[in-house]
Amino acid sequence: MSPARAAKHRPETAGRILAAAEESFAAHGIAGARTERIAARACVNKGLLYYYFGSKRNLYRAVLRQLLEEFRQTINPANSPPRPPRERLLAFVNSYFDFLASHPNFPRLVQREVMESKGELDWILNDYYRPVLRGVVGVIEAGIRQGEFRRVDSQQASLTLMGATTSYFAAPLWARFLGQDLLRPAALEARRRALIDFLGYGLFRRDGRES
């Protein structure tokens, strides 16, 4: 039985391996992660790990692809029901924030892939990030046309919005600098409110004016 079919037929075991691998890869990268530790944490033997996924690199790719697929399905504005642009953009911000709050390893794993993949990033860009970015750009452009948003560069505004959301979770240094747990519920809600407030002043038209 192939690794993919084995994982398909034993989803609980595969899920434990992927969860253990996610934590290890996020903390140590693909080079520093040890398959022995991943197997022990998943309560399987090392041979079963290789039987399911073939290699450490394949396991790393499976972890990342699983997270990226959830990322695309969960937050892409193109998947949301028809609503006014302001509601759709707020829904995007909230869903993206919730996704990162429940998957704090995601930005670190993507960063590690960028650093360690030797430039082989087309599969991430084409399959996952470009569809999401196009969706956000489309919502902003619709908001501009309908008079809900200020006239801005829609692509730059999209990058700013995604970057401001991601950076909170991607840089553990902030937690050390501020001396607090940034993932505790009160801190997360404070950050969410700050993002939405920033969005309201930076993009949404107020009192019918451009600024």
* Whether residues 40 and 131 fall in one domain: no
DSSP class of 79: G
Q: Is residue 179 part of a domain?
A: yes
pLDDT tens digits for range 39-57: 999 999 888 888 889 999 8
* Whether residues 137 and 67 fall in one domain: yes
Instruction: Say how many domains are in the chain.
Output: 2
**Rounded-to-integer distance, Cα 50 and Cα 199, Å:** 46
pLDDT of residue 118: 67
> Whose CA is closest to 211, among 200, 173, 145, 184?
200
* Whether residues 97 and 113 fall in one domain: yes
Residue 96 CB-density burial (10 A; 0-12 exposed, 13-18 middle, 19+ buried)? buried
Share of the chain above pLDDT 70, in %: 91
**Rounded-to-integer distance, Cα 24 and Cα 46, Å:** 15
Q: Is residue 45 part of a domain?
A: yes
Q: Which of 54, 70, 88 is the last residue of a domain?
A: 54
Angle subtended by helix axes 56-75 and 106-116, to nearest 10: 130
* Whether residues 48 and 74 fall in one domain: no
pLDDT tens digits for range 111-145: 888 877 766 788 888 888 888 899 999 999 999 99
Give the residue numbers spanning the domain of 75.
62-202
* Whether residues 73 and 33 fall in one domain: no
pLDDT interval class at 147 (50, 70, 90): very high
Q: Is residue 149 part of a domain?
A: yes
pLDDT of residue 209: 47
Q: DSSP string spanning 95-152? A: HHHHHHHH-TTHHHHHHHHHHHSTT--HHHIIIIIHHHHHHHHHHHHHHHHTTSB-S-
